[in-house]
């Protein structure tokens, strides 16, 4: 199947895609009294805890630490949620895949997209904190969709790889949970980049894609500056490379899924 046919096929199943995204969002808040408000409260509550711990106990000298923390938390939180949900996107839909034909990748894409919707809800929390801490946004904040797009594409690529691997190796979901925790501490979310030793700084900045996305987001939201060109190029390359790799791995393995699910 060539690329155009593949995209056309996904388009033909757009109604199913929409229903899958809506279902994921509803299931997340089912039987919750506060419902979608949790998408705003959750990052806020986590931010309050981390601000108390790291600004008072560890004495990190970061101006407007609350917004600094939340900008990193929102971006990384999307990757953590999207990939963790997507890892079982094929195996959890085994019964449907055995009964009828649908593009298998649609389940993975739907998981990542529903996480994107949750990310957009989380931005409301960020706006509230910015107002409370009197951060004055500039017109450069209009660049933020570019950052979100990069992160979405990057997250989709990783999710396709994980979803395909999890069909053959179910322990991937547990290993990925451990890796996500390690990855979070290797990303400048709760600490400044200045604490990284100089001999490790180049590797830290160039081999962690999340560094690029978090720093871009902070540049336009917190610092009010335009997108750093070097980080934009770096982030775009990471996104496209990982997406292409994810598509290739998924398409190569998808015909074998039915034998293992």
What are 34's two structure tokens? 């506060």
User: Radius of gyration (Cα) for the chain, nearest Å?
Assistant: 19
Query: What is the pTM for the complete model shown?
Result: 0.90
CB burial readout 121-147, b (16+ within 10 A) else e: bbbebbeebbeeeebeeeeeeebbebb
CA–CA separation, 190 and 65 (whole Å): 9
Name which of 228, 189, 178, 230 is nearest 206 in CA terms.
230
Query: pLDDT in tens for each of the 261 residues of the chain?
Result: 555 666 777 888 889 899 999 888 878 766 555 556 766 667 677 776 666 666 565 556 778 888 998 999 999 999 999 999 999 999 999 888 888 888 999 999 999 999 999 898 889 888 888 988 888 889 999 999 999 999 999 999 999 999 999 999 989 999 999 999 999 999 999 888 989 999 999 999 999 999 999 999 999 999 999 999 999 999 999 999 999 999 999 999 998 998 887
CA–CA separation, 64 and 46 (whole Å): 16
Name which of 192, 168, 165, 193 is nearest 179 in CA terms.
165
On whether the CB atoms of residues 89 and 111 are closer than 8 A, the answer is yes
CA–CA separation, 225 and 219 (whole Å): 5
On whether the CB atoms of residues 70 and 148 are closer than 8 A, the answer is no
On whether the CB atoms of residues 40 and 46 are closer than 8 A, the answer is no
Name which of 25, 27, 194 is nearest 114 in CA terms.
25
- Half-sphere exposure for 18 (CA within 13 Å, toward CB): 5
What are 70's two structure tokens? 């939340």
Residues composing the chain: 261
Q: CA-CA distances (angstroms) from residue 20 to 16, 26, 154, 176, 258?
A: 6, 10, 21, 23, 20
């Amino acid at each position: 199947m060539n690329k155009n046919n593949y995209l056309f096929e996904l388009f033909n199943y757009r109604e199913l895609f929409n229903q899958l995204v809506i279902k994921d969002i509803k299931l997340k808040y089912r039987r919750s009294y506060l419902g979608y408000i949790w998408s705003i409260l959750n990052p806020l509550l986590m931010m309050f805890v981390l601000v108390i711990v790291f600004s008072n106990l560890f004495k990190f000298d970061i101006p407007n630490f609350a917004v600094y923390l939340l900008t990193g938390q929102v971006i990384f939180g999307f990757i953590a949620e999207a990939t963790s949900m997507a890892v079982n996107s094929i195996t959890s839909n085994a019964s449907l895949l055995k009964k009828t034909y649908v593009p298998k990748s649609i389940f993975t894409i739907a998981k990542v997209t529903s996480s994107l919707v949750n990310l957009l809800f989380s931005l409301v929390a960020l706006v509230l904190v910015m107002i409370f801490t009197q951060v004055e946004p500039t017109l450069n904040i209009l660049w933020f969709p570019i950052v979100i797009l990069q992160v979405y594409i990057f997250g989709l690529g990783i999710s396709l790889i994980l979803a395909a691997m999890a069909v053959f190796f179910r322990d991937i979901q547990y290993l990925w949970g451990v890796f996500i925790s390690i990855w979070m501490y290797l990303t400048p979310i709760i600490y400044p980049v200045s604490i990284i030793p100089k001999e490790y700084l180049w590797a830290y900045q160039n081999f962690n894609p999340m560094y690029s996305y978090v720093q871009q987001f902070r540049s336009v939201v917190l610092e009010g500056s335009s997108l750093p060109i070097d980080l934009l190029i770096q982030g775009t390359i990471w996104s496209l490379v990982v997406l292409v790799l994810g598509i290739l791995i998924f398409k190569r393995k998808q015909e074998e899924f039915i034998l293992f699910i």
